[in-house]
């Protein structure tokens, strides 16, 4: 691949879903820690207005691309432009109820986005990845409160949203 043209002194962190609630808070923390976040968000569950507030809070101009992670034609262009140090993936459809009514949409979006990001990571040699999952991967709780020792048993997950996150976790274990 051609060399990235972004400022090579900065450590760029790609934040798919960075205009959402969790993603925008990650962006603030990244800026505070000295990183240069790059937002990729289709604004399905968020808005550019959220990023304006982040800019007000941090005093920094946000690099933002209104791109869907399913768009494998345009997503690699960001990797060509910037030398990406890490990815924090907060992009996902997240409504449990809607996932029951539109399961294919949830699998296509949540798993497809992850696969596209992993494809770009492999192509552009990005080694650092953080996945924003969900407590829904634990299914029906065996005990409360949930902790990291709680078993994740796919058969106990009650909705396609949780199953899509569970599948993503297994893909990450395999790669």
Give catalytic residues, as residue numbers: 161
Cβ pair 94, 45 in contact under 8 A: yes
**Edge-first strand listing for the sheet containing 84-89:** 63-65, 36-40, 12-16, 84-89, 128-131
What tokens were used for 81? 């432009």
Half-sphere exposure of 95 (CA within 13 A, CB side): 10
Task: Name the β-bridge partners of 12.
Answer: 36, 84
d(CA 36, CA 27): 9
Task: Name the β-bridge partners of 122.
Answer: none
Cβ pair 86, 128 in contact under 8 A: yes
Residue whose pair of structure tokens reads 């603030």 in the numeric block: 28
d(CA 30, CA 11): 10
């Amino acid at each position: 691949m051609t060399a990235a043209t972004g400022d090579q002194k900065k450590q760029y962190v790609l934040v798919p879903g960075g205009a959402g609630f969790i993603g925008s808070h990650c962006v603030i923390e990244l800026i505070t820690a000295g990183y240069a976040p790059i937002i990729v968000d289709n604004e399905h569950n968020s808005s550019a207005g959220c990023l304006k507030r982040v800019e007000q809070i941090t005093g920094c101009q946000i690099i933002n691309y209104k791109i869907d992670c399913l768009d494998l034609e345009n997503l690699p262009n960001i990797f060509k432009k910037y030398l990406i140090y890490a990815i924090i993936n907060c992009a996902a459809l997240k409504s449990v109820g809607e996932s029951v009514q539109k399961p294919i949409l949830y699998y296509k979006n949540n798993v497809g986005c992850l696969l596209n990001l992993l494809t770009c990571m492999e192509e552009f040699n990005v080694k650092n990845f953080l996945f924003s999952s969900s407590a829904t991967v634990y299914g029906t709780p065996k005990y409360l409160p949930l902790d990291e020792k709680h078993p994740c048993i796919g058969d106990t997950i009650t909705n396609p949203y949780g199953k899509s996150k569970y599948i993503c976790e297994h893909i990450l274990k395999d790669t």
